[in-house]
């Protein structure tokens, strides 16, 4: 495990103390769980941003392919 010096705002520290006591977790375990949760949340956000960005990159080509499929479907229906 790594040691870390951390400065918290007084309000955040007080709230952390209250909640960790109510959950019967020591402060270190509570902060570890909080950082782990936040890392997971941020990884999901980064993945969503990447997906949205890559989706925009292929949007024009996808619309072309969709239009071609519609033409094929229309030709098949006309027969």
- Burial environment of residue 30 by CB neighbours within 10 A (0 to 12, 13 to 18, 19 or more): middle
19-68 per-position pLDDT tens digit: 999 999 999 999 999 999 999 999 999 999 999 999 988 888 888 888 88
Which residues, including other chains, have CB under 8 Å from residue 31's CB and lie 6 or more apart? 6, 16
Classify residue 54: in a domain, yes or no. yes
The model scores a pTM over 0.85: no
Domain count, the chain: 1
Confidence of residue 76 (pLDDT cuts 50, 70, 90): low
Q: Does 21 reside within a domain?
A: yes
Would residue 4 count as lying in a domain? Answer: no
Asked if residue 2 is part of any domain, the answer here is no
């Amino acid at each position: 495990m790594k040691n870390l010096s951390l400065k918290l705002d007084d309000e955040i520290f007080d709230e952390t103390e209250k909640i960790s006591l109510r959950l019967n977790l020591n402060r270190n375990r509570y902060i570890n769980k909080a950082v782990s949760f936040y890392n997971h949340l941020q990884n999901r956000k980064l993945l969503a941003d990447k997906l949205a960005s890559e989706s925009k990159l292929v949007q024009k080509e996808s619309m072309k392919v969709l239009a071609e499929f519609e033409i094929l479907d229309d030709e098949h229906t006309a027969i």
